[in-house]
Amino acid sequence: MDRELLIEIGCEEIPASWLPGLTVQVAKHLDARLKEFRLTPESKAEGFSTPRRLTARVAKLGERQTDFEELVTGPPVSAAFKPDGEATPAATGFAKKYGVEVSALEKHDTPKGTYLAYRVRQRGKATVDVLAEVMGGLLRDLTFPKQMRWDAFLEDGKGDLVFARPIRWLVLMYGGRVVPFVIRRTELAQGPTVQDIRSGSNTYGHRFLTTSGRAGRAIKIKTFEDYQNRLLENFVILDRAERESKIRRELETHARKLGGRVSGLVAAHSSLLQEVPDLVEYPSVVAGHFPVEFLQLPEEVLTTTMIHHQHYFPVVDEEGKLKPAFLAVTNTQAEKPEIIARNSERVLTARLRDARFFWDADRKVTLESRIERLGTILFHKKLGSYREKAERVSSLASWIASEAFTHSDASEPAATAGRLCKADLATDMVRELTELQGTMGGIYAREEGLPEAVWKAIYFHYLPIGVEADAPPSRQQLGAAAITWAAVALADKLDTVVGMFTAGERPTGSRDPLGLRRHAQGAVKILADLPELTGLDLRLEVGPLLARAAEPFGGYGDGSGPLLSFMGDRLAYLLEQRGFDVRSVRAVMAAGIERVSPLEARRKLEALAQMAGSQALLGVATLLKRVKNITKGVSSDVPANAISSALKEPAELALWAELEQRAPAIRAAAAKGDYREAFSGIAALQPTVAKFFDDVLVNAEDADLRTARLALVATLRDLILDIADISEIVAD
Amino acid sequence: MTFQDLILKLSAFWASQGCLLQQPLDLEVGAGTSHPETLFRVLGPKPWSVGYVQPSRRPDDGRFGQNPNRLFKHHQYQVILKPSPDEVQQTYLESLEACGINPRQHDIRFEEDNWESPTLGAWGIGWQVMLDGMEITQFTYFQQMGGIDLAPISCEITYGLERIAMFLQRVDNVFDLEWGGGVKYGEVRLQEEIEESKYAFGQVDMPAEEFSALHRDLFEKYLGFSDRLLASGLVWPALEHCLKCSHLFNILDSSGSIGVTERTTYILRVRQLAVKIAKAYVEKGAVA
Q: Which site among A335, A374, A376, A431 would you substitute to test the B interface, given the most B Cβ atoms closer than 10 Å to its Cβ?
A: A376
Rounded CA separation A546/A32 (Å): 46
Cβ contact, residue pair B134, A343, below 8 Å: yes
CA distance A194 to chain B (A): 5
A224 touches A57 (CB < 8 A): yes
A452 touches A479 (CB < 8 A): yes
Cβ contact, residue pair A13, B111, below 8 Å: yes
* B288 pLDDT higher than 50: no
Interface pTM (ipTM) of the complex?
0.95
pLDDT digits 0-9 by tens, A142-154: 999 999 999 999 9
Measured from the Cβ of residue A99, the count of other Cβ atoms closer than 10 Å reads: 8
Q: Which site among A11, A13, A275, A331 would you substitute to test the B interface, given the most B Cβ atoms closer than 10 Å to its Cβ?
A: A13
Cβ contact, residue pair A385, B127, below 8 Å: no
Closest residue on chain A to B171 (Cα): A346
* % chain A with pLDDT above 90: 74
With 0-12 / 13-18 / 19 or more C-beta atoms within 10 angstroms meaning exposed / middle / buried, residue A397 is buried
Instruction: Establish if B112 touches chain A: CB-CB under 8 angstroms.
Output: yes
pLDDT-based confidence at B260, cuts 50/70/90? low
Instruction: State the Rg of chain A over Cα.
Output: 35
Query: What is the interface size between A and B, counted as CB pairs within 8 Å?
Result: 139
* A271 pLDDT higher than 80: no
* A732 pLDDT higher than 80: no
A363 touches A441 (CB < 8 A): no
Residue from A137, A219, A164 nearest A17 by CA: A164
> What residues of chain A lie within 8 A of the CB of B172, using their CB?
346, 349-350
pLDDT-based confidence at B223, cuts 50/70/90? very high
According to CATH, the topology of domain B208-283 is: Methane Monooxygenase Hydroxylase; Chain G, domain 1 (1.20.58)
Strand partners, A289: A325
Rounded CA separation A10/A56 (Å): 12
Strands A312-316 and A261-262: antiparallel
A342 touches A284 (CB < 8 A): no
Closest residue on chain A to B111 (Cα): A15
DSSP A275-320: HGGGT-SS-EEEEEE--GGGGGS-HHHHHHIIIIIH-EEEEE-TTS
Secondary structure of residue B77 in the 3-state scheme: strand
> What residues of chain B lie within 8 A of the CB of A385, using their CB?
259-260
Instruction: Establish if B288 touches chain A: CB-CB under 8 angstroms.
Output: no
- Which residues, numbered 43 to 72 in chain B, qualify as contacts with chain A under a Cβ-Cβ cut-off of 8 Å? 45, 47, 67-70
- The answer for residues whose C-beta is within 8 angstroms of residue A609's C-beta and 6 or more apart is A580, A581, A584
Q: Which site among A347, A359, A389 would you substitute to test the B interface, given the most B Cβ atoms closer than 10 Å to its Cβ?
A: A347
CA dihedral A254, A260, A265, A269 (to 10 degrees): 0
* % chain A with pLDDT above 70: 98
Report, as an integer, the average pLDDT of A511-527: 93
Instruction: Establish if B269 touches chain A: CB-CB under 8 angstroms.
Output: no
CA distance A172 to chain B (A): 20
Nearest beta carbon to residue B86 from set A188, A194, A208: A194
Residue from A609, A504, A593, A476 nearest A545 by CA: A593
* pLDDT-wise least confident of A33-42, A638-647, B122-131: A638-647
Rounded CA separation B140/B148 (Å): 16
Nearest beta carbon to residue B86 from set A149, A168, A216: A168
For residue A75, whether the previous peptide bond is cis, meaning omega lies within 30 degrees of 0, is no
What's the confidence (pLDDT) of residue B238? 97
Nearest beta carbon to residue B152 from set A151, A209, A353: A151
Q: At what angle do helices A439-447 and A452-459 cross, to 10 degrees?
A: 160
CA distance A510 to chain B (A): 21
Cβ contact, residue pair B86, A166, below 8 Å: yes
A621 touches A726 (CB < 8 A): yes
B159 touches B129 (CB < 8 A): no
pLDDT digits 0-9 by tens, B45-85: 999 999 999 999 999 899 899 988 899 999 999 999 999 99
> What residues of chain A lie within 8 A of the CB of B258, using their CB?
376
Identify the DSSP state of A191.
Answer: B
Domain spans of chain A, in order of start: 3-64+126-233, 68-122, 240-362, 375-603, 612-729
b vs e for B138-162, b when ≥16 Cβ sit within 10 Å of the residue's Cβ?
Answer: bbbbbbbbbebebbbbbbbbbbbbb
Q: Which site among A12, A305, A311, A360 would you substitute to test the B interface, given the most B Cβ atoms closer than 10 Å to its Cβ?
A: A12
Report, as an integer, the average pLDDT of A441-458: 96
CA distance B94 to chain A (A): 11
Rounded CA separation A433/A447 (Å): 19
With 0-12 / 13-18 / 19 or more C-beta atoms within 10 angstroms meaning exposed / middle / buried, residue A8 is buried
Residue from B254, B262, B267, B259 nearest B204 by CA: B254
B257 touches B208 (CB < 8 A): yes
> What residues of chain B lie within 8 A of the CB of A217, using their CB?
none
Nearest beta carbon to residue A376 from set B45, B112, B256: B256
* A510 pLDDT higher than 90: no
> What residues of chain A lie within 8 A of the CB of B208, using their CB?
none
User: Angle A355-A359-A361 (CA atoms, 0-180°, nearest 5)?
Assistant: 115
- The answer for residues whose C-beta is within 8 angstroms of residue B137's C-beta and 6 or more apart is B92, B128, B129, B157, B158, B159, B160
Residue from A469, A384, A462 nearest A421 by CA: A462
- Which residues, numbered 133 to 152 in chain B, qualify as contacts with chain A under a Cβ-Cβ cut-off of 8 Å? 133-134, 141, 143, 149-152
Closest residue on chain A to B103 (Cα): A208
CA distance B12 to chain A (A): 20
Instruction: Establish if B18 touches chain A: CB-CB under 8 angstroms.
Output: no
What's the confidence (pLDDT) of residue B286? 55
Report, as an integer, the average pLDDT of A483-512: 92
CA distance B231 to chain A (A): 30
Architecture of domain A612-729: Orthogonal Bundle (1.10)
Measured from the Cβ of residue B59, the count of other Cβ atoms closer than 10 Å reads: 23
Nearest beta carbon to residue A149 from set B143, B170, B263: B143
CA distance B269 to chain A (A): 17
Cβ contact, residue pair B83, A151, below 8 Å: yes
- The answer for residues whose C-beta is within 8 angstroms of residue B4's C-beta and 6 or more apart is B179, B180
> What residues of chain A lie within 8 A of the CB of B111, using their CB?
13, 16, 279
CA distance A453 to chain B (A): 32
Report, as an integer, the average pLDDT of B224-234: 96
Domain spans of chain B, in order of start: 3-200, 208-283
Nearest beta carbon to residue A347 from set B133, B261, B264: B133
pLDDT digits 0-9 by tens, A319-356: 889 999 999 999 999 889 999 999 999 999 999 998 99
CA distance B140 to chain A (A): 11
Report, as an integer, the average pLDDT of A115-132: 92
CA distance A427 to chain B (A): 14
* B228 pLDDT higher than 50: yes
Q: Phi then psi for A204, rounded to 5 degrees?
A: -135, 140
> What residues of chain A lie within 8 A of the CB of B167, using their CB?
343
Per the CATH hierarchy, to which homologous superfamily does domain B3-200 belong? Bira Bifunctional Protein; Domain 2 (3.30.930.10)
> What residues of chain B lie within 8 A of the CB of A166, using their CB?
84, 86, 141
> What residues of chain B lie within 8 A of the CB of A10, using their CB?
none
Report, as an integer, the average pLDDT of A189-211: 96
Q: Phi then psi for B143, rounded to 5 degrees?
A: -110, -35
CA atoms within 13 A on the CB side of A118: 18
What's the confidence (pLDDT) of residue B94? 97
What's the confidence (pLDDT) of residue B261? 67
A45 touches A57 (CB < 8 A): yes
Cβ contact, residue pair B141, A148, below 8 Å: yes
pLDDT-based confidence at A34, cuts 50/70/90? very high
- Name the average pLDDT for chain A: 92
Cβ contact, residue pair B260, A146, below 8 Å: no
Closest residue on chain B to A192 (Cα): B85
3-state secondary structure A456-514: HHHHCCCCCCCCCCCCCCCHHHHHHHHHHHHHHHHHHHHHHHHHHHHCCCCCECCECCC
Cβ contact, residue pair A331, B151, below 8 Å: no
User: Angle A369-A375-A380 (CA atoms, 0-180°, nearest 5)?
Assistant: 140
> What residues of chain A lie within 8 A of the CB of B153, using their CB?
148-151, 189
Identify the DSSP state of B81.
Answer: E
